[in-house]
Chains A and B, each alone.
Chain A
């Protein structure tokens, strides 16, 4: 049965009360009716029984003296009993002796059996039959069979139903009136409660309270509701405060914080994100991140923003770039997969990170600074290297300049002597002057020294130009991309450039493989690495031997190759790397040198260049007190991505 659940409470109450009273009444009516019908059937049967006995007694004489007419008369008296439909008397031999059928009968005339039926009473649906023996003076002399219809029951039933209907109608009316009066007791507090909830949801005001009418269960409900409201009011305040606080925190975080659901729809967008992308939260919330108006550029080859939402646990994305106001900006992001609900029911992603454009710029500047630093550091040595030949080039030039007036005078006298001899008269004065000048000029000395001075000048100039060429080669100006270079030559150049850095503390020995294949690399940066390692080696040895002590260490540079790589070893006889810092030496800004002597970028740069830009390897072996060897390995076959990556940086 479908209950009318959409009725108002008041109607439900009325319905309930009326249904209850009607049901009770109905059950009572059915009970009484059943009882009445059963008892009536029994009383009809009882009556039939006694009627049969009386009839039997009355026809005893007729039976005894074989007088059917008399028996008929007796049976005809049954007309007084309107519900007797038929009757029959059977004689002692079981033959029909006398019969009776009611002339006018509502029910169909019962069939009278030819032979006497079994003794006793039969309550059938439509009728009740009774067959009794006719006992006369203790002897059975025949039997009487009576059939009674149940019209009486039906009439009574009909009356009863009419009565019951009237009763139920009256009771329903009364019950309705009572219910209408009583429902206010229950419905009014509930309706007020409903009104209160409406007010609350309309005004979002948890300060409203429902009125209480009585101390019954509804009163308790109202109390409970009001208590709940108070708790909600408190909890809502706390929640708002907490939410505001967390919002404040999130917005105060200087890092970019972007929350998304599992499909990448933005759910959180903090102030740092808004600042970094130049997009307010309102412009992106609820949109897929990949569809936001951010001009991503140059992600990793083949990478789409969508792929971020497939990461497991967390991944870092360095160098995410996008364009903003025409500038290229760099982001360092970490994508973290988070379970939004315990039990893994829903996942989302937290993207955190920062705009590292400034850092990138600074790093670039720092790299340039380091380069400059190295060059600056070299400059003194190089100037010294240039200064020495320049000095004696100058000395020799000065010597030649000083020599020149004497030579000039002799040459002038020689010219006059030639003109005079051509004229035929050579003045003795001229000869005397020439002899004197020649004597003064010390020609033996000049003939010996001047060629030497010229030779030394040329040598000096050669050295200067060599150094200048090495410097030029070292810094490789104008060569941005990778090119195949001779590693051995590159190392020699660097050794030459850095000569002033090591020559006072160490000897450099080289052990180059002859058949080294050309290696595709960024020549300038490779040279920088070798320079850094060379200078580090010289410093390491210098720490041991002390500057200008005359006692020198050795730096051994070895190259060798395999089919797939070229290896460079730079070995020093320094103090070695202490155990406790070995893990950190490739970290940026990590240095053991005193302030001003190192920036802590050398080995970090070397690592970056060899590992990231060349997909090579760098490692070292060190023994405290004996020295350190750095190993560089460059692959001969660079991967495509490596080439293109390197080309972009």
Chain B
């Protein structure tokens, strides 16, 4: 696990359509670290040791890496659970949800279901923010860039640490005032 964290910032050489193990590890690390920079509204956790649940859907590679990596780890004093949700209820019980597929319809459908639930949505497609997602892992050249729409997360009652915002590119969903920073 430590290895995973330490290697989270590794640049991976080249990008191929077939997702490499290295790329999956970086993504898993990103997801795990989001839990540290985000503050959920009170009431989401019932007790101080309620686990922080990181869900991955539509990216089996990342799930495979994430699950062993977070086992036994804690974030802000909470144990971390990695899940592969199937039902809408299960989606809602997630705290971080990584949507690995890039089908716009499915993304929009999933996001609309999660409206008014305090789930940090993370995607990896160009359309993810415009569709109402909060954080997008954009593959640029050989590195992964963060794109964040703070309005979306604010609407869900989530507070993203300014420190995270500093390292990310802030993006506005179309129709929203302000636009790209």
Q: Is A63 interfacial (CB-CB < 8 Å)?
A: yes
**Are A66 and B143 touching (Cβ within 8 A)?**
yes
> Which of B2, B9, B143 is the most central at the interface, judged by chain A CB atoms within 10 Å of its CB?
B9
Residues of A within 8 A of B71 (CB): none
Measured CB to CB, the closest approach of chain A to B53, in angstroms, equals 17
**Are B36 and A66 touching (Cβ within 8 A)?**
no
Stretch in contact with the other chain, from B60-68, B104-112, B159-167: B159-167
**Are B164 and A139 touching (Cβ within 8 A)?**
no
**Are A70 and B5 touching (Cβ within 8 A)?**
no
**Are B9 and A63 touching (Cβ within 8 A)?**
yes
- Bound Cα distance A93, B33 (Å): 17
- Bound Cα distance A57, B164 (Å): 11
**Are B11 and A66 touching (Cβ within 8 A)?**
yes
With A66-B11, A137-B36, A137-B76 as known contacts, state yes or no: A92 contacts B6, CB within 8 Å: yes
Residues of A within 8 A of B29 (CB): 64
Residues of A within 8 A of B36 (CB): 64, 136-137
- Bound Cα distance A136, B76 (Å): 10
Q: Is A91 interfacial (CB-CB < 8 Å)?
A: yes
With A58-B163, A137-B75 as known contacts, state yes or no: A65 contacts B6, CB within 8 Å: no
Measured CB to CB, the closest approach of chain A to B177, in angstroms, equals 25
B163 contact from A61, A66, A93, A139, Cβ within 8 A: A61
- Bound Cα distance A63, B143 (Å): 13
Interface of chain B residues 1 through 50 with chain A (CB within 8 A): 2, 5-11, 29-30, 33, 36-37
**Are B164 and A65 touching (Cβ within 8 A)?**
yes
Measured CB to CB, the closest approach of chain B to A140, in angstroms, equals 9
**Are A65 and B33 touching (Cβ within 8 A)?**
yes
B30 contact from A65, A92, A93, Cβ within 8 A: A65
- Bound Cα distance A92, B5 (Å): 9
Measured CB to CB, the closest approach of chain B to A179, in angstroms, equals 67
Number of B interface residues at 8 Å Cβ cutoff, please give it: 25
- Bound Cα distance A492, B75 (Å): 166
- Bound Cα distance A391, B135 (Å): 198
Interchain pairs with CB closer than 8 A, number: 56
Main secondary structure of the interface of B (DSSP, over half): helix
Q: Look across to chain B and name the residue whose beta carbon is closest to the beta carbon of A137.
A: B36
Residues of A within 8 A of B6 (CB): 92-93, 141
**Are A91 and B9 touching (Cβ within 8 A)?**
yes
- Bound Cα distance A91, B7 (Å): 10
Q: Is B114 interfacial (CB-CB < 8 Å)?
A: no
**Are A65 and B146 touching (Cβ within 8 A)?**
yes
- Bound Cα distance A58, B146 (Å): 17
Q: Look across to chain B and name the residue whose beta carbon is closest to the beta carbon of A93.
A: B6
**Are A62 and B166 touching (Cβ within 8 A)?**
yes
**Are B76 and A70 touching (Cβ within 8 A)?**
no
Q: Is B170 interfacial (CB-CB < 8 Å)?
A: no
Q: Is A19 interfacial (CB-CB < 8 Å)?
A: no
Interface of chain A residues 51 through 82 with chain B (CB within 8 A): 57-58, 60-67, 70, 73-74
- Bound Cα distance A60, B36 (Å): 11
> Which of B36, B37, B161, B167 is the most central at the interface, judged by chain A CB atoms within 10 Å of its CB?
B167
Residues of A within 8 A of B33 (CB): 64-65
- Bound Cα distance A141, B9 (Å): 10
With A58-B163, A70-B167 as known contacts, state yes or no: A65 contacts B75, CB within 8 Å: no
- Bound Cα distance A139, B8 (Å): 13
Measured CB to CB, the closest approach of chain A to B150, in angstroms, equals 14
**Are A141 and B163 touching (Cβ within 8 A)?**
no
Residues of B within 8 A of A63 (CB): 9
| Interface range, A side | 20 to 34
Q: Is B57 interfacial (CB-CB < 8 Å)?
A: no
- Bound Cα distance A92, B8 (Å): 9
**Are B76 and A65 touching (Cβ within 8 A)?**
no
- Bound Cα distance A58, B163 (Å): 6
Measured CB to CB, the closest approach of chain B to A529, in angstroms, equals 147
Residues of A within 8 A of B75 (CB): 137
- Bound Cα distance A360, B58 (Å): 164
With A65-B168, A136-B36, A137-B76 as known contacts, state yes or no: A60 contacts B163, CB within 8 Å: yes
- Bound Cα distance A60, B10 (Å): 15
B9 contact from A58, A66, A73, A136, Cβ within 8 A: A66
Residues of A within 8 A of B164 (CB): 61, 65
Residues of B within 8 A of A139 (CB): 2, 5
Residues of A within 8 A of B7 (CB): 92-93
**Are B5 and A65 touching (Cβ within 8 A)?**
no
- Bound Cα distance A74, B33 (Å): 20
Q: Look across to chain A and name the residue whose beta carbon is closest to the beta carbon of B5.
A: A139
> Which of B11, B143, B163 is the most central at the interface, judged by chain A CB atoms within 10 Å of its CB?
B163
A61 contact from B11, B143, B167, Cβ within 8 A: B167
Interface of chain A residues 323 through 348 with chain B (CB within 8 A): none
Residues of A within 8 A of B166 (CB): 58, 61-62, 70, 73-74
**Are B76 and A64 touching (Cβ within 8 A)?**
no
Residues of B within 8 A of A91 (CB): 9
Residues of A within 8 A of B30 (CB): 65
- Bound Cα distance A74, B9 (Å): 18
- What are 12 A-B pairs at a CB distance below 8 A? A61-B37, A61-B167, A62-B166, A64-B36, A66-B8, A66-B10, A66-B143, A66-B144, A70-B166, A91-B9, A92-B7, A93-B6
Using A67-B146, A92-B8 as known contacts, list a sample of 15 further A-B pairs with CB atoms less than 8 Å apart, ordered by residue number in A.
Answer: A57-B163, A58-B166, A61-B163, A61-B164, A61-B167, A64-B9, A64-B33, A64-B167, A66-B9, A66-B10, A66-B144, A70-B167, A74-B166, A93-B6, A141-B6
The 7 nearest A-B residue pairs measured at CB: A66-B9, A67-B167, A61-B163, A92-B6, A70-B167, A61-B167, A65-B167
